[in-house]
Structure 1
Amino acid sequence: MNTTSALNLAGAKPLQFPIPANVYAETVVSVKHYTDRLFSFRITRPQSLRFRSGEFVMIGLPNAEKPIFRAYSVASPAWDDELEFFSIKVPDGPLTSELQKIEVGDTVIM
């Protein structure tokens, strides 16, 4: 079983959460905050992922045993080696409250 880690609330010890079946665990390669309400991020792209312009994927974070996923439109072109997404920042949002804190090297699940 694939697992990924997240820091526990005390920040002392990584917690291990399983990556669900048929889910990609991709690495964040860049994050850009445009305003206090808008940011974008790029992640590695699985070689097997094929999509057409306008399609979306479900994005989540490996920070719980049952992660929360939300639909995100792919902003990058179909031929790009990375996937780019734009997101708003929702302070109390179940996903975006944590997603807006991602950094290069973190894991995003898709």
Structure 2
Amino acid sequence: EAERSKPAPKRKRQAEEEIALLRTENVALRQSKAISDRDRRDLFEQLQKAERRAKGKEQAFGMVNDMLAAYPDEFDALLNKSRAKNSAPSFKSHGNDRGGK
């Protein structure tokens, strides 16, 4: 709005300088807009991924709740078995044990 209220340049050289300045500003604004658009697109994609992950976690939570409600004893046994398996250290031979020296 302030640009429109400025008087028109009286000399050709002034007009050319102003045109060059405006073109430079225009390029800078286009670059800034392109960066903002990319950032906005990236954030939107991150939001969609987070929402999909959250939906998957909610579904898994619902399934576990259903299993727990329907089969509480079996669920506890399975949970204990899983915890025991995960806590037991595994001793795997790497094949380079020569049995002594």
Shared topology, TM-score over 0.5? no
Point out which structure has higher relative CO (alpha carbons under 8 A, 6+ apart). 1
TM-score (norm 2): 0.14
TM-score, reference length from structure 1 = 0.14
Q: Larger % of strand: which?
A: 1
Larger helix fraction of residues: 2
